[in-house]
Amino acid sequence: MDETNFSDLINKPKDTLAGLTASRTSAVRLRRRGEDADLMLTTADRYEREQAIVATAAVLLAELLRDLDAFTDVQLRRVMTATFPWSRFLDDDDLREFAGELAGTIRAAADLENLAPVTTVITAWKNSAEVYADPNLVRVLTQPAGDYGVISAPGAP
């Protein structure tokens, strides 16, 4: 992938855009100084192609996983752990729930052209797997917390 400094886009826009046009990938990474995240400059055509691919993959995945009962536990576990190795710490019911939630979220997020919700779902299930992977954490989080008495309403004397 071609790269250039963000300042080149500001100072030499024609040269930078010529580099974009000449790029094999139709994309240029714009490096930014400091802690700012780099930016990607791409053509509308490339963006639209990538969005179409994501939307197609989302529909395909959602349709494949629509009837999770068609998958045996072994089949589902093989596919999910190949994609998310940490998912091996989820039990079979949780793994099915994760697969269903993931498929639905991917399809909805692709329709919105915003994949951020997919990251949220994956992160939440990964956090659950981290808990299940640690027996001490499971014990602490599943033991009765006890009764701490009556809680007064906010503003009550």
Does the pLDDT value for residue 80 go beyond 80? yes
- The pLDDT value given to residue 149: 79
- What is the pTM for the complete model shown? 0.69
Q: Residues 100, 108, 74, CA angle at the centre, nearest 5°? A: 20
Decide: helix, strand or coil at residue 28. Answer: strand
Cα(41)–Cα(84) distance, integer angstroms: 30
Does the pLDDT value for residue 98 go beyond 90? yes
Q: Say which range, 52-61, 99-108, 111-120, 142-151, has the weakest mean pLDDT.
A: 142-151
Q: How many CB atoms lie within 10 A of CB 111?
A: 11
Quick: pLDDT tens for 2-25: 899 999 999 999 999 988 888 888
Decide: helix, strand or coil at residue 17. Answer: helix
Higher pLDDT, 1 or 93: 93
Q: Provide the pLDDT confidence category of residue 132 given band limits of 50, 70 and 90.
A: very high
- The pLDDT value given to residue 150: 84
- The pLDDT value given to residue 51: 86
In words, the CATH class of domain 2-42 is alpha beta
Q: Where are the alpha helices (DSSP H) in the chain?
A: 6-11, 13-22, 44-64, 73-83, 92-112, 116-133, 135-142
Q: Provide the pLDDT confidence category of residue 122 given band limits of 50, 70 and 90.
A: very high
Cα(62)–Cα(109) distance, integer angstroms: 12
Does the pLDDT value for residue 89 go beyond 90? yes
What's the mean pLDDT when you consider all of the chain? 89
Does the pLDDT value for residue 95 go beyond 90? yes
User: In one letter, which amino acid is 155?
Assistant: G
Q: What percent of the chain has a predicted confidence (pLDDT) above 70?
A: 99
- The pLDDT value given to residue 143: 86
